[in-house]
Amino acid sequence: MSTQLESLVGYQWYAVYVSITSNLDTIGSFSSITYFQTLQRQPEPVLNLHGKSLSRSTIELVWQTPSKPNGPTTNYLVYYAPIEDRLPVDNSKLLCLMKDRWRSEVNVQVNNLNLTQSVQCSQSKAEVNNVITNNYDYDDEESTNIDHVATDLSIIEYKLINSVTRRNDPLTLSKEVKADIINNLDIFFENNTTDFNDNYQIDVQESSVVEHRPYIDQYNRSTSDTRIIIDALKEAQLYLFQVYACHNISKQALSNSCSLNGIILAVRTKPGDASRDLVRNVQLTSSADDSDRLTAGERLFLYRISWLEPLDPNGLVYYYMIYIAQNSNNESVQEYCVGYDKYSISVILLPSTTYRLRIITYTIARLNNEYDDRERINGEPSPSNSTNFIFELTFTTKGLSRPFQRLPWPNPN
């Protein structure tokens, strides 16, 4: 007689023994224990992959060993490559809506995507409410049940293993116990045989080898530790990483020695100096005719402000913010949001008036508050503000070329 043991863990020692149950309400003697070790096979993927930028050119990756290594894990292969940045939406108006969130939001550390875990909410609504109000104690109910089950199984296992080599007489079962066992086994196999065969069909057959094909093939590093530092990276650049757990890659092909899937993570390096986001060649051009606008008897001038985009910004440019305020009245501020693909704006200004102009480039680095300048930007402009992170300019509009006389309002009588 023979049987096939399924769903065994690779590179693991097992103990096996055999007994015969007859139709006479008895269980026969147990055989002696035989030990065997399963063959080595592909390890499971690494767990809890995390990454952070240590500097402008360095990223650290940390992970945990696979839950089922299926053999000695000697190597971890790390593939990585830069990713081309993309705007979340190709719409300047929608991107400009982010400015209100940027002003008010609190810095929150965004957890990197980890593809090794799944979470399922199994509590009912009442249970969730009890948890929120601290009325539900998992330790008192769930843990107690688990402890009881674990204790019972440990006692049974201890008694069974220690009696295998010493048992000579058959173990007699009462009719009630036997009937209960048979009934439960019948129900179990009727309900689970189909699902069991479907789920473990791959384990019964010899699984075909899947070729080792990482998603990233530009760079790779190998390490025996669960931590690695990748250096010589570009500033403010998003990188994609893929980590594989492997056995001895010098003795086997990667398709046989490495995990089937590599866990993927994206991390951005720290930005360079904020001056890289400065706009260039800012020009202010007034209208040739000083009679452009007449509002409530007051002459106004039309000015055009233009600039060139930064040469090497710290990531994609999302939008530009233009602030124009009278130097003597900081409370009166004109504010404009200009899309990433626009490099000019027209504004209406008073004649012979001194203004303070600020142009701020909002890259992904500034949106993530990498420069730590949110309070300075949101605060009142002051002469002490340097121009190493935003463009600032003080200018005076032109005066009237000829005297302007206000006309009295007509008399309705």
Q: Where are the domains of the chain?
A: 42-102+174-270, 274-396
d(CA 335, CA 337): 7
Judge whether 42-102+174-270 and 274-396 match in fold: yes
pLDDT at 178: 65
State CA 368 to chain mean position distance: 14
pLDDT at 5: 85
Identify the pLDDT of residue 172: 58
Q: Cα separation of 350 and 297, whole Å? A: 13
Specify whether the CB–CB gap between 241 and 53 falls below 8 A.
no
**Separation between Cα atoms, residue 264 and residue 115, nearest integer Å:** 7
Indicate the pTM of the whole model: 0.64
pLDDT at residue number 194: 53
CATH superfamily, domain 274-396, is Immunoglobulins (2.60.40.10)
CA dist list (Å): 407 to 289, 293, 294, 301: 21, 16, 12, 19
**What integer pLDDT is reported at residue 116 of this predicted model?**
36
The string of pLDDT tens digits covering residues 213-256 is 887 777 889 999 999 999 999 999 999 999 999 998 888 888 88
* Cα(323)–Cα(317) distance, integer angstroms: 18
pLDDT at residue number 152: 47
Q: How far is CA 265 from the centre of its chain?
A: 7
pLDDT of the residue at 241: 94
- Low-confidence residues of the chain, pLDDT below 70? 24-26, 100-175, 177-178, 181-210, 288-298, 328-331, 378-387, 401-413
Distance of alpha carbon 387 from alpha carbon 259, whole angstroms: 51
Nearest to 64 by CA among 73, 52, 53, 54: 73
**What is the distance between the alpha carbons of residues 320 and 313, in angstroms, rounded to a whole number?**
13
Task: Give the CATH fold of the 42-102+174-270 domain.
Answer: Immunoglobulin-like (2.60.40)
Tell the residue number behind the tokens 């001194």, with chain if given.
354
State how far the Cα of 107 lies from the Cα of 100, in Å rounded to an integer.
14
